[in-house]
Amino acid sequence: MVSNDTNDPRGRQVPRGRLSRLSQFGRLAGSVAGGMIAEGGRRLAAGERPQLRDMLLTPGNVGKVADRLSHLRGAAMKLGQMISMDAGDLLPAELTAIMARLRDNAQHMPAAQLQQVLTREWGPDWRARFSHFDHRPIAAASIGQVHRAIAKDGRELAIKVQYPGVRESIDADVGNVATLLRMSGVLPRGFDVGPLLEEAKRQLAEEADYEREGEYMVRLGRLLADMPEVIVPTLESGLTTSRVLAMTFLEGRPIESLETASQDVRDATMQTLIRVVLRELFEFGLMQTDPNFGNYRIQPRTGRLVLLDFGAARSVAPETAEGYRRLLRASLSGDRVAVRDAAVAAGFLGPAVVARHGAAVDQIIDVILGELNRPGLFDFGDRRFVEALRGRGMEIAADAGAWHLPPTDILFVQRKISGTALLASRLKARVDIREIVQPWLGEPATVPPVRIQ
Gap between the Cα atoms of 33 and 40, Å rounded = 10
pLDDT for residue 115: 94
Q: SS3 for 208?
A: coil
CA 72 to chain centre: 18
Query: Which of 96, 205, 202, 236 minimizes the C-alpha distance to 143?
Result: 205
Residue 217 contacts residue 247 (beta carbons within 8 Å) = yes
Q: For residue 276, with 0-12 CB atoms within 10 Å meaning exposed, 13-18 middle and 19 or more buried, which class applies?
A: buried
Number of Cβ within 10 Å of residue 394's Cβ equals 12
Q: What is the DSSP string of 275-300?
A: HHHHIIIIIISEEE----GGGEEE-T
- Work out the end-to-end distance of the chain between its first and last CA atoms, rounded to an integer number of angstroms: 30
DSSP class per residue in 262-277: -HHHHHHHHHHHHHHH
Is 171 labeled as catalytic in the residue annotation? no
Strand order in the sheet with 305-307: 230-231, 305-307, 296-298, 253-254
Q: Provide CB contacts within 8 A for 83, sequence distance 6+.
A: 91, 99, 181
Nearest to 160 by CA among 249, 240, 244: 244
With residue 433 as reference, give the H or E element that holds it.
helix 433-437
Distance (Å, rounded) from C-alpha 325 to C-alpha 208? 32
Of 5, 173, 267, 290, which residue is the catalytic one? Answer: 290
List the chain pLDDT tens, one digit each, 453 residues: 433 433 444 455 544 444 444 444 444 444 444 443 343 434 334 444 434 344 344 545 445 555 555 444 445 555 554 544 444 444 445 555 555 555 444 567 888 899 999 999 999 999 999 999 999 999 877 788 999 999 999 999 999 999 888 888 777 777 766 666 666 555 556 666 677 778 778 888 898 999 999 999 999 999 999 999 999 999 999 999 999 999 999 999 999 999 999 999 999 999 999 999 999 999 999 999 988 888 999 999 999 999 999 999 999 999 999 999 999 999 999 999 999 999 999 988 889 999 999 999 999 999 999 988 888 899 999 888 877 787 787 788 777 777 777 888 888 898 899 889 989 999 999 999 999 999 998 754 443 433 333
Helices of type H across 126-262: 170-184, 194-207, 210-223
Q: Are 28 and 177 in contact (CB under 8 A)?
A: no
Q: How far apart are CA 396 and CA 414, in angstroms?
A: 19
For the chain, the maximum distance between any two Cα atoms, rounded to a whole number of angstroms, is 72
Write down the pLDDT at residue 172: 75
pLDDT of residue 369: 92
pLDDT at 100: 52
Q: Which helix (H) or strand (E) holds 131?
A: strand 130-133
CB proximity list for 277: less than 8 A, separation 6 or greater: 287, 416, 417, 420
> What is the per-residue pLDDT for 187?
57
What is the spatial distance between Cα 80 and Cα 211, in angstroms, rounded to a whole number? 25
Q: What pLDDT does residue 181 have?
A: 60
Q: At 160, which helix (H) or strand (E)?
A: strand 156-162
Strand partners, 230: 305
Instruction: Tell me what pLDDT residue 192 has.
Output: 66
pTM over 0.95: no
Q: Which residues of 169-195 are buried (b: 16+ CB within 10 A; e: fewer)?
A: bbebbbebbbebbebbbbeeeeeeeee
Q: Give the CA radius of gyration of the chain.
A: 23
Quick one: pLDDT at residue 43? 39
Q: What angle do CA 180, 79, 323 make, to 5 degrees?
A: 115
Separation of alpha carbons 186 and 184, rounded Å: 6
